[in-house]
Structure 1
Amino acid sequence: MMLNRRGVLGLAALAATPASAAAMTPVSSQLAPPDPVETIRLWPDAAPGGEAVTVTPRVVERSTDPAFHDRFAQYTTDPILTVLRPERPNGASLLLIPGGGYKWAVVDKEGLDCARVFADAGVTCFVLRYRLPGDGWAAGPDAPLQDAQRALRLVRSRAAASGLDPARVAVLGASAGGHLAGMLTARADAAYAAVDEADAASHRPDLSILLYPVATMADGPVHAGSRRELLGSAPTPEAVDRYSLERLDWTGRPPTFLLHAMDDEAVPVENSLQLLATLRAARVPAEAHLFQEGGHGFGIRLIAGRPAAVWPALVLAWGARHGWITQT
């Protein structure tokens, strides 16, 4: 599917109108869309380093409205990709990494809900359900990164067989998922030993999209909950440096898109501002959009009819400029 400029502007205008907001407001007579049926297990056998893991996986539904789901996955032991294939794929792929403060990973708000919007634009979407650092994995804070690297490699290694372009694989992460997507983007080293031929593919995304990301682990604008779950209650200075996105070496990393609301009280906008300064210093092609209002964790549904609702259109237009999708 080709995205034309009129289509992008139309999506942006529609998102900002009251009519669009009403159309997206859940009512009890509506039903949530069905879940995709295609999933991909990340690891051919057990996930690495699970000898001491004793947790029992669960998925919790928080919504009481049949019009939408609001689920989170906790204690994941068998990470998966949930696949949304568009009717007319344009060759681009998108790995989506939802947030959850590294305590859980949301399923819908920053996962399937966002994926449906990009699938409507022709992008083949893969929503990651990843392991969490506090569940006893041998890799500790690198367990989620192992899953993210493995997921990107699987998407890329299987792209050609599905008629997709292995050189057009982007990642989108939100909140703590934005931190994980940033680690995936910035870290060139492999977080695990290769397990099969898929690991010959690069885990470097071609574009990186970070929504209200948890960027820093340093005191000040840090999201304390994410830092505690990832690094413990008293992380060493070395750990803070290793897991703070703005302190990593971004030289030669792919184009990066940042989006944040300035009234975000959970993950302060300084997370994106500090990271933007690092990207500029490393000469990474970067684009940033700051909205006066929007709060935190808005995804798609929670910001309908408000200015920041244009963010998918902004991402698509930016992606077109970088060759991820075709714009006419």
Structure 2
Amino acid sequence: MAGLAAAGTARAQGGSDRRPPDPGETIHLWPNGAPGEDRVTVTPEVTERSTSPDYHDRFAAYTRDPRMMVYRPAKPNGAAMLLIPGGGYRYSVLDKEGTEIALPFSKAGITCFVLLYRLPADGWTAGHDAPLQDAQRALRIIRGRAAEFGIDPKRVGVLGASAGGHLAAWLSTGAHYQVYQPVDRLDTVSAKPDFSLLLYPVIAMAEPHVHAGSRKELLGASPTPQQIAAYSPYLQVRADTPPAFLVHAYDDGGVPIENSFLYAAALRAAKVPVETHYFEEGGHGFGIRQTKDLPAAAWPDLFLAWAARRGYLGASTSARAR
């Protein structure tokens, strides 16, 4: 598995060469190692959960070498997206909310970067800010190397799902925070996305709508009121927060749909463009593959139409393979 085997042990429950291969291009975020690794003792691990011959379903835990897998389109339209999978800040669900979205989106002309990010409870000096360090650095690499990737530095978006949606919203509202010391010229580049796509995102850190598992992994068992406010992205929305496209299902039993309501309302109050699509059925964590025969299957094309209408893409196209 290019870009993943080096992460540590990979436990497989099945396999087949019918599964799509990972791209050969991997970008390591930190040239001299991730900041604050002195106390980190965890061993990286990537586990394959899929028993199907047709798709991967891997999750990465204890990441120590954060990096991006690059999916370059055959016909790029100049847009780029940083894809941040979820996993409750305990691990990263690489395929369902990463590679399985990157493949069709790259066919639609978007250059995609799937992020393997560090987790807050693994002993990093930055603690709960370690994921934001990686997200900021990743966005800066994409924008700072735009000419190399053949993209427009003013059309760089972020996609986040579940806890990854929290990180994407956190990046959108907190790109101006300096959470690490600059390491090279790329750190002079803006880390703020131009637009965001949030799938069933974790947004609230307070009751009654909090996803308790994500909050515990991010902030510990007893966060202060100040931490709860600071790490609830809807409370940090400003007039310059990037426009957003939100997708959620009413029957989500993991992250209550009110999380999307709160973020959308905050954007609207700040006069930031936002489009929302709330589906009757879908549950939590559906990505693309698990929307089969559900109304939520429409979300990729709805998003691409929105992004094209706002000028983030080239010609309007479809995420479904032709």
Structure-2-length-normalised TM-score = 0.91
Give the match for residue 236 of structure 1.
224
Please state whether the residue corresponding to 1:191 is helix, strand or coil: coil
| Structure 1 unpaired stretches of 5+ | 1-27
Distance (whole Å) between structure 1 residues aligned to residue 226 and residue 198 of structure 2? 24
TM-fit CA distance, 1:322: 1.4
Q: Pick closer, same or farther for the CA change 1:91–1:233 going to 2, 3 Å.
A: same
Within 5 A, what are the aligned runs for 1:133-282? Answer: 133-187=120-174, 188-282=176-270
TM-fit CA distance, 1:305: 2.4
1:113 to 85, 100, 103: 100
1:299 and 2:287 aligned: yes
Give the match for residue 44 of structure 1.
31
- What is the aligned length? 301
Within 5 A, what are the aligned runs for 1:50-89? Answer: 50-89=37-76
Give the match for residue 303 of structure 2.
315
Distance (whole Å) between structure 2 residues aligned to residue 315 and residue 104 of structure 1? 26
User: 8 Å contact 2:132–2:171 — kept in the other structure?
Assistant: yes
Give the match for residue 7 of structure 1.
none
TM-fit CA distance, 1:157: 0.6
Q: Deviations over 1:150-197 (max 9, x none)?
A: 000000011112321111100000000000000000012121111001
Distance (whole Å) between structure 2 residues aligned to residue 124 and residue 327 of structure 1? 15
Distance (whole Å) between structure 2 residues aligned to residue 110 and residue 173 of structure 1? 8
Q: Pick closer, same or farther for the CA change 1:29–1:180 going to 2, 3 Å.
A: closer
Give the match for residue 10 of structure 2.
none
Q: Deviations over 1:207-248 (max 9, x none)?
A: 011100000100111000000000001111010000011211
Q: Match of 1:84, as an amino acid? A: Y
TM-fit CA distance, 1:29: 8.8
Distance (whole Å) between structure 2 residues aligned to residue 177 and residue 250 of structure 1? 20
Distance (whole Å) between structure 2 residues aligned to residue 113 and residue 76 of structure 1? 20
Higher RCO (CA-CA < 8 Å; seq separation 6+): 1
2:277 to 285, 289, 295: 289
RMSD: 1.2
Q: Match of 1:145, as an amino acid? A: L
Please state whether the residue corresponding to 1:122 is helix, strand or coil: coil
User: 8 Å contact 2:78–2:314 — kept in the other structure?
Assistant: no
| Structure 2 unpaired stretches of 5+ | 1-14, 317-322
Distance (whole Å) between structure 2 residues aligned to residue 208 and residue 300 of structure 1? 17
Range with bigger deviation, 124-133 or 316-325: 316-325
Fraction of identical pairs, as percent? 59
TM-fit CA distance, 1:272: 0.4
User: 8 Å contact 1:117–1:312 — kept in the other structure?
Assistant: no
User: 8 Å contact 1:133–1:229 — kept in the other structure?
Assistant: yes
Q: Match of 1:33, as an amino acid? A: P
Distance (whole Å) between structure 2 residues aligned to residue 294 and residue 164 of structure 1? 33
